[in-house]
Amino acid sequence: MSAAELCARLIRFDTSNYGEGRSAGEADLAAWLVGALERAGYAPQLVGPSPARASVVLRVPGTDPTLPAMLVHAHTDVVPVEPSQWTVPAFAGRISDGYVWGRGATDMKDMVAMTLATLLSWAKTGTRPRRDIVVLFVADEESGGEHGALWLVRNRPELFAGVQFAIGESGGDATELVAADGRTVRCYPIATGERGTLHLRLRASGDPGHASRPHPGHALERLIAACHRINTHEWPLRLTDTVRGYIETIDRALGNEPELDTEAGVLAAIDRLGPAGEVAAATIRCTATTTVMNAGMTVNVIPGNAEALVDVRCLPGTEDEAVETLRGLIGDGIAWEFVDRQSPVSAPHPSPWFDAMRDAIIAHDPDAVVPPVCMGGGTDAKAFAALGIAGYGFAPLTADPEGRRPAGTHGADERTPVASIDGGQRILEEFLTRV
């Protein structure tokens, strides 16, 4: 089976993750992966907090035991679907019109399939990697990893012995851009960092009262004011080396000379990047926004308690600054705490590992432009960072020759071009064999 056909097969396991442990689980898919690997002569293990939430782990021994090991991780769960929004069945694993269709086609059963295809190809040709490669098909990424990556890091750290770096979700996929002179530029950003995730709960309390005689500074009024200060705060520009490298590399490839010493210059350069500018725009500063508010029972009663949840994303190197800023914005008289605090992560660049990923891409696409990129959100890489593992986002996909694009991530009609998956698998195999 090709990588694309494997991806379609994996989609037929409904591994929807409803969060808070309310999931059918990844067990059937994990068992299928174990069977496929065992038939190829590997010795995978099922690991996890319960049989239903099983992950699959496998260490492929390298030929040079002096080299540090690496980890390849890809999650097996998917976000739930709203079937009425789809024009194809979400779990049929259909291949048509040049696409693999279904939940997980982009996020991220494509990478699970490419990794599995590489292992099966190695088994057929008797190939071994240079260094030990730990392969992890991991459960529960979509609701935070408590039953997956975090559990493994806390309970089975010995599985990652000797691992110095990892590749995982997001990055290495081709975006086609058009230069000012009409040339097509194919850009494959590799993630070398992720913003941190800070989730805050704010609580205000005060005297309840009659709404016809509102007393100033009641709990809900103060909470609304604090959330408004957070939502409207203008966070300063913080151009990290990664984001600078991303903007400079692409803008130059498009034939421009970026001027990044002023905010206006940065914004102008991001504008020139077209579709590649979106991720840059999300990673030049911290962001914070209120997402949940709870207060009150009925319209004529001023509540004595009010609560809000705030989602904050901070760049590598800015976490302490962001927390101090938030403290000031929240102000006195409102209690607050972190309900989740995952620090930003970054991996070395330049580095021999980054170079090996870039070389594998260039071996298949000599004109490729390969910048580093910082991800706006988060992945399991944060969990593995706790073990000192540097995480890169590298799940390569090549450009479809007829211009099809992956689509529908976390939405409807999720799909990835067949050619992109099969091309991506060749890059991945090249990288994992040579690194």
**Interacting residues with Zn ion (CB under 5 A):** 107-108
Residue number, 108 or 153, with CB nearest to Zn ion: 108
Q: How far is the CB of 429 from Zn ion (least distance, A)?
A: 22
In the complex, the smallest distance separating the C-beta of residue 318 from Zn ion, rounded to whole angstroms, is: 24
Query: Whose Cβ is closer to Zn ion: residue 260's or residue 412's?
Result: 412
Comparing CB distances to Zn ion, the nearer of 77 and 132 is 77
Closest contact distance (angstroms) between CB of 409 and Zn ion is 8
Residue nearest to Zn ion (CB): 107
- Sheet containing strand 196-205, strands side by side: 287-295, 305-314, 196-205, 335-342
SS3 432: helix
Nearest CA to 360 out of 423, 402, 276 is that of: 423
Q: Which is nearer to Zn ion, 108 or 308 (CB)?
A: 108
* Nearest distance in Å: CB 379, Zn ion: 7
**Burial class of 42 by CB neighbour count within 10 A (0 to 12, 13 to 18, 19+):** middle
Q: Other CB atoms closer than 10 Å to residue 67's CB: what's the count?
A: 15
Distance CA 114, CA 118 (A): 6
CB of 370 to Zn ion, least distance (A): 22
Closest CA to 57 of 144, 153, 192, 126: 153
Q: Residue 221 Cβ, how far from Zn ion at the closest point, in Å?
A: 39
Q: What tokens were used for 293?
A: 């508010």
Choose between 107 and 140: whose C-beta lies nearer to Zn ion: 107
The rounded distance, in Å, linking the Cα atoms of 146 and 383 is 10
Gap between the Cα atoms of 27 and 51, Å rounded: 6
- Output the smallest distance, CB 247 to Zn ion, in A: 25
CA distances from 63 to 66, 126, 128, 167, 260 (A): 9, 12, 7, 20, 45
Nearer to Zn ion, 14 or 107 (CB): 107
Specify the residue, 106 or 346, whose C-beta has the smaller distance to Zn ion. 106
